[in-house]
């Protein structure tokens, strides 16, 4: 894959979107609230996949997901640029909203979060517990995002997008931890929602000058990024149907797509059945709790282990915030219906 990047995220000539110094500056902000998460090589996963398999445990953060890193960097830099800011508005399916609610609570900034109808009840409860005003609007994330933009203008508050350079820099700190501990990695499998995580991994790999292959993972029912990457342009899908709500995106971001096409070896689709099986495997082999998006990377590795090569592979468990009812369904051997 190859293309040029977009302003603010990808360089105009395909150069790394940020430097190692940028990452370390972001790391200093993140470390005030989030310690390094572990990366463990699990023997049972090695037996299952046939190669050394390292899990990057981004489920071990104060919000149970990787996005808290980006929220901390985004809010801190916003507060520095606008010290008089009274509040912000964003849209989310859960983990992005929790990250901003967590960061805003630390900064003393009001937070209004828009979620689609039918969103995870437990993620909604977590955001309210962090002091957020929660508003339900629309049938999916993209409808909620449109409402959030309008609401920010109506109330005179800042709108926080779901993809921004500071968000990417924040989540890039987990990639720095992973590559610092395991520079020998041959492949890293990363789930794709709107793109912050995989853009952070690509940018960090490039800033470190490593040759690690990066494989993006999308849900088969929410494959806009795979379709767009193949076409070389953003293509929105009519629906995004998967129980892995963190991957349920219909409209790709053009700047993220540019980074992905420039730095990702390929994008793999996984079915909801494969995601559910990966959740069960993580629970049985590592006693790790993973939400759908958090298990997608392992689902891709298990699906394509013959393509994994001989070197060690890492899978990013991006979050653990799965509702109890869904987890009960999965552990009983079934696949939850798509959201």
Residue 242 to residue 222: CA distance in whole angstroms:
7
Residue 205 resides in a domain: yes
Please indicate, yes or no, whether residues 44 and 186 belong to a single structural domain of this protein.
yes
**In the prediction, which pLDDT does 199 show?**
97
Please indicate, yes or no, whether residues 250 and 263 belong to a single structural domain of this protein.
yes
Backbone angles phi, psi at 133, to 5 degrees: -85, 120
Please indicate, yes or no, whether residues 151 and 270 belong to a single structural domain of this protein.
no
Helix, strand, or coil (residue 215): strand
**In the prediction, which pLDDT does 17 show?**
73
Is residue 299 within 8 A of residue 327, CB to CB? The reply is no
User: Total domain count for the chain?
Assistant: 2
Residue 338 to residue 245: CA distance in whole angstroms:
9
Residue 11 resides in a domain: no
Out of 102, 137, 159, pick the residue that ends a domain: 159
Give start and end residues of each alpha helix (H) in the chain: 20-30, 43-49, 68-81, 95-107, 121-129, 141-155, 165-181, 196-208, 224-231, 254-263, 272-286, 292-303, 324-331
Residue 14 resides in a domain: no
Please indicate, yes or no, whether residues 56 and 72 belong to a single structural domain of this protein.
no
**In the prediction, which pLDDT does 142 show?**
80
Residue 12 burial (CB count, 10 A): 10
Which two tokens mark 66? 């990787």
**In the prediction, which pLDDT does 174 show?**
98
**In the prediction, which pLDDT does 152 show?**
96
Residue 202 resides in a domain: yes
| CATH code for position 104 | 3.40.50.1100
**In the prediction, which pLDDT does 339 show?**
78
Residues spanned by the domain of 151: 68-159
Residue 143 to residue 140: CA distance in whole angstroms:
6
Please indicate, yes or no, whether residues 25 and 79 belong to a single structural domain of this protein.
no
Please indicate, yes or no, whether residues 196 and 308 belong to a single structural domain of this protein.
yes
244-278 burial, b at 16+ Cβ within 10 Å, e below that, comes to bbbbbbbbbbebbbbbbbbbbeebbbbebebbbbb
Please indicate, yes or no, whether residues 140 and 38 belong to a single structural domain of this protein.
no
Please indicate, yes or no, whether residues 223 and 79 belong to a single structural domain of this protein.
no
Please indicate, yes or no, whether residues 42 and 116 belong to a single structural domain of this protein.
no
Residues 6+ apart with CB under 8 A from 271: 219, 220, 221
Residue 9 resides in a domain: no
Please indicate, yes or no, whether residues 57 and 88 belong to a single structural domain of this protein.
no
Please indicate, yes or no, whether residues 142 and 197 belong to a single structural domain of this protein.
no
Residue 66 to residue 64: CA distance in whole angstroms:
7
**In the prediction, which pLDDT does 205 show?**
97
**In the prediction, which pLDDT does 5 show?**
32
Please indicate, yes or no, whether residues 260 and 287 belong to a single structural domain of this protein.
yes
DSSP secondary structure letters along 243-283: S-GGG--SS--HHHHHHHHHH-SEEEEE-HHHHHHHHHHHH
Out of 142, 159, 176, pick the residue that ends a domain: 159
Out of 159, 181, 206, pick the residue that ends a domain: 159
Digit-by-digit pLDDT tens for the chain (339 residues) are 433 233 345 543 344 579 999 999 999 999 999 999 999 999 999 999 999 999 999 999 999 999 999 999 999 999 999 999 989 999 998 899 999 999 999 999 999 999 999 998 899 999 999 999 999 999 988 889 999 999 999 999 999 999 999 999 999 999 999 999 999 999 999 999 999 999 999 999 999 999 999 999 999 999 999 999 999 999 999 989 999 999 999 999 999 999 999 999 999 999 999 999 999 999 999 999 999 999 999 999 999 765 556 789 999 999 999 999 999 999 999 999 997
């Amino acid at each position: 894959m190859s293309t040029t990047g977009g302003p603010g995220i990808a360089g105009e000539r395909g150069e790394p979107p940020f430097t190692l110094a940028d990452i370390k500056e972001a790391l200093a902000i993140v470390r005030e609230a989030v310690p390094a998460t572990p990366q463990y090589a699990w023997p049972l996963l090695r037996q299952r996949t046939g190669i050394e398999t390292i899990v990057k445990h981004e489920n071990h953060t104060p919000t149970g997901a990787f996005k808290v890193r980006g929220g901390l960097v985004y809010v801190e830099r916003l507060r520095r640029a606008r010290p008089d800011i009274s509040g912000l508005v964003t849209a989310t399916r859960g983990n992005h909203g929790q990250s901003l609610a967590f960061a805003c609570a630390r900064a003393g900034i009001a937070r209004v979060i828009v979620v689609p109808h039918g969103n995870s009840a437990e993620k909604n409860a977590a955001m309210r517990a962090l002091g957020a005003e929660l508003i339900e609007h629309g049938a999916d994330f993209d409808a909620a995002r449109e409402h959030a933009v309008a609401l920010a203008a109506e109330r005179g508050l800042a709108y926080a997008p779901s993809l921004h350079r500071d968000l990417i820099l924040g989540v890039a700190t987990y990639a720095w931890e992973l590559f610092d501990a395991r520079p020998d990695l041959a492949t890293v499998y990363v789930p794709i929602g709107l793109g912050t995580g995989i853009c952070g991994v690509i940018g960090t790999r490039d800033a470190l000058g490593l040759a690690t292959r990066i494989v993006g993972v999308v849900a088969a029912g929410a494959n806009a990024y795979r379709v767009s990457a193949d076409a070389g342009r953003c293509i929105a899908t009519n629906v995004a149907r998967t129980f892995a709500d963190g991957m349920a995106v219909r409209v790709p971001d053009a700047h993220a797509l540019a980074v992905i096409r420039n730095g990702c070896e390929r994008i793999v689709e996984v079915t909801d059945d494969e995601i559910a099986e990966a959740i069960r495997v993580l629970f049985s082999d590592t006693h790790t709790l993973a939400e759908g998006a958090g298990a997608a990377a392992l689902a891709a590795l298990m699906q394509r282990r013959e393509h994994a090569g001989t070197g060690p592979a890492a899978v990013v468990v991006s979050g653990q915030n799965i509702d109890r009812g869904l987890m009960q369904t999965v552990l009983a051997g079934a696949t939850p219906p798509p959201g």
